[in-house]
Amino acid sequence: MADLITRYQSLGAHFHPPAEAGHQTAAAARQMWQDNPTELAARLPWPPDRLIALVEYINRATQP
């Protein structure tokens, strides 16, 4: 599981600039996903329900 989370976070890091701006874009991306996961998941090449479930699982696993 730790390897999956590390790879997931590494993938996301490629889309965010370094430093504070990166934290802001990451927060905005998380908010967009929380607000509309169905629409966002439908635009990706995986079954939307499975992608939503995977993201929820990873989010739960990374919460303290």
Q: pTM of the prediction?
A: 0.72
In a domain, 40, yes or no: yes
In a domain, 4, yes or no: no
HEC string of 1-64 equals: CHHHHHHHHHHHHCCCCCHHHHHHHHHHHHHHHHHCHHHHHHCCCCCHHHHHHHHHHHHHHHCC
Given this model, what pLDDT does residue 26 score?
85
Given this model, what pLDDT does residue 33 score?
95
In a domain, 15, yes or no: no
In a domain, 50, yes or no: yes
Q: Give yes or no for a contact between 8 and 26, defined as CB atoms under 8 angstroms apart.
A: no
For the chain, the domain total comes to: 1
In a domain, 22, yes or no: no
The whole-number mean pLDDT for each consecutive block of 10 residues of the chain, a chain of 64 residues, reads 84 80 87 96 96 93 83
Domain extent, residue 55, equals: 28-64
In a domain, 21, yes or no: no
Q: Give yes or no for a contact between 4 and 55, defined as CB atoms under 8 angstroms apart.
A: no
Given this model, what pLDDT does residue 40 score?
96
Using left for φ > 0, alpha for ψ between -120 and 50, and beta otherwise, residue 17 falls in beta
Given this model, what pLDDT does residue 14 score?
81
